[in-house]
A and B are shown apart, each in its own frame.
Chain A
């Protein structure tokens, strides 16, 4: 009992002593031991946050003031803290600086940071990285252009095709009544009428007719405008051009006399006179007016002789020419037709070009570019004129004087041609002779037998000098002597 009593007293004494110690601690909060630990963090916080308040050296005596200041400062922030604490609970503790603490000072830190760093410039994203329509404007433009070209190609091609078919439908009956073979492309084994046009191009159509008196055949070429080419369409807007129908009738030799004659628009005749071989050689005068025969002023005449003009310009022909003058470009009859003048590099050709008795007609389709299929009907009378001309050419014969004149003209032309080419022909002959000599020499060289070689050499020498020798087993020495004499 006594021991237990003494134990309790000792416990009580120890408890009181420890309480006293804690009291001491409470009284002396600023003990030097805790200076560094307790207030170290508060020191840093204070210096950053409270800039306006004067800097105070933290001493032991001013702790209470500092703590109150801290508390006040912290209270203001802590209000914000409490507001945000609901949303951000554990984030801020890990960071050395609390974001919320600087809420009121957002502008100032930003201002200071912007002064320190370079200004931020917003750079445009380069065009090729953008994914918008504007970056592809060139491609869109080009593709649109191409589409327009293709559309025009299809439309133009169809229009030309329709025009050609309309022409053929209009003229089919007339042609079939005059020719056995209407339409031939030359590929079939038998000569049967194909009954349709040959399409050479998107704008050129051919038709071959044959099997008639007087003429070997007739080639009709429909030369339309290039409606399928957009560039051409645009060019035509500046300068209107017409579709053309060209007819070439090849006459039999016995069915046409010898003369050269042309009638047409002045401009066309001037051009033809320059380009065509026969017109330039036989019709050297300038195109004359046809008013004497009743032709309109727009048409002119090129003729070899006056007699030909008189013979050609009968009533019916004048009627045709007058009524359809606007559609006629040129009419050209010639027995010396060989096409346009050929420009060769080596000068004049060595031989006169082949000639054929031909009637050529060039007609303009009315409409001057803006043609419609029904305009093709207007060309039917012109085809009648062609048929009439074929028959007329067969019937027309020059009288004796005219024939003599014509023959003289042709002889004159041939002589001129020979004179011009005399030098060239001489050169050609010389070169041929030299070639022959060279070939002979090569033969001699290639000959292996020496005996034969010698004989050939001598023969060649004799040929050159014009001396004939008969080789009947001549001894070698004699041959040698002969060679020495002539060759040297």
Chain B
């Protein structure tokens, strides 16, 4: 029994639950791409709307796609959908 305990390194009584790392500073540090792309997309869509430039609108669509592809799963899907609009 003792040898079994020694060879088996597992300790069920020492189990710790997973704690997701604090998210207040990490998202910005890790990768700012989706946030930048979101902002750019909004700016271009506004430009396209106000100045009636077709290419601006297309660039905005591309930006929102890139932002979606790079986004973290914790973010709102509603925000994604609104950015597509």
Contact = CB atoms under 8 A, between A and B. Distances in A.
A352 to B, nearest CB: 17
Given A185-B18, A228-B69, A212 B62 contact: no
Nearest to B14: A211
Interface bin, chain A: 35 or more
Question: SS class of chain A's interface: helix, strand, loop or mixed?
Answer: mixed
A151 to B, nearest CB: 12
A208 B15 CA distance: 11
A310 B7 CA distance: 27
Interface residues of B, number: 27
Contact of A210 (B15, B58, B61): B15
A275 to B, nearest CB: 11
Interface in A209-228: 210-214, 216-217, 219, 226, 228
A180 B12 contact: yes
Given A185-B18, A186-B19, A213 B62 contact: no
B10 A211 contact: yes
A202 B80 CA distance: 15
B61 A146 contact: yes
Contact of A212 (B14, B54, B72): B14
Contacts of B78: none
Among A150, A217, A340, which residue has the most Cβ atoms of chain B within 10 A?
A217
B40 interface: no
Given A202-B69, A229-B66, A212 B9 contact: yes
Given A191-B17, A199-B73, A229-B70, A146 B11 contact: no
A176 to B, nearest CB: 9
A145 B15 contact: no
Interface in B1-48: 9-20, 25, 29
A320 interface: no
Nearest to B68: A153
Interface string A259-271: 0000000000000
A201 B18 contact: no
Contact of B65 (A146, A185, A191, A200): A146
A52 B53 CA distance: 67
Interface of B: 9-20, 25, 29, 54-55, 58, 61-62, 65-66, 69-74
10 contacts: A186-B18, A186-B19, A199-B73, A201-B73, A202-B69, A210-B15, A211-B15, A211-B16, A212-B9, A212-B14
